[in-house]
Amino acid sequence: MAFELRDGEIGNITHDDSETYSIHTETTINAPAEKVWAVLTDFDKLEEWCSSFIKFEGEFRKDGPAKVTFKLGVGNLTQVFDHPLIHFEEGRMFGWSAPLPYMHMHDNHKYIVEPLGDNKTQFTQTDQLIGSGARWIGGMMSKQMMQQYVVFNRELKARVESMT
């Protein structure tokens, strides 16, 4: 079965150059940005609603050290990444850039919360795969990542909207 976007969802991949793939996903959440941010950053409760991003440990601040755990979608396998939060604006955005082990690439992942007015919020998740490894596996990986990000966005939307 092919992966399909739902009404109101955006998910696209661009092949910017031979060593860069960019992923962009977004959805509109029917809740104020403060509520979306509160749910997104309540890391103690991630596993209650999220099937992929299951743990954040570290200092939630600009350049704070972070250890992030993701489920890989295969059984109970997980992967842990250690990296600083190079992208951080309280109430609006956080993210990191880290090497992907053994893949000759790094990513540039961001979670962005933007108020739209009328108690609506645009949630955007972006990433990039950058480096020589992108020539060989960037296309396949970016497709899998985009699908995971769209699912994350759906799970966040459902969790937030169920609380309002």
Q: Which parts of the chain fold into alpha helices (H)?
A: 33-40, 46-49, 139-162
pLDDT of residue 100: 85
Tokens 């972006």 locate to 126
* Amino acid, single-letter form, for residue 93: M
As a whole number of angstroms, the distance between CA 76 and CA 156 comes to: 21
Gyration radius of the chain's alpha carbons = 15
As a whole number of angstroms, the distance between CA 75 and CA 72 comes to: 8
Sequence-ordered strand ranges (E) for 30-97: 53-58, 65-71, 78-84, 87-89, 93-96
Q: What is the pLDDT along the chain (164 residues), one digit of tens a residue?
A: 467 999 999 999 999 999 999 999 999 999 999 999 999 999 999 999 999 999 999 999 999 999 999 987 777 889 898 999 999 999 999 999 988 878 999 999 999 999 999 999 999 999 999 999 999 999 999 999 999 999 999 999 999 999 97
* 1 three-class SS: coil
Does domain 20-162 match CATH 3.90.950.10?
A: no
Pairing mode, if any, of strands 78-84 and 65-71? antiparallel
As a whole number of angstroms, the distance between CA 33 and CA 124 comes to: 12
* Amino acid, single-letter form, for residue 95: G
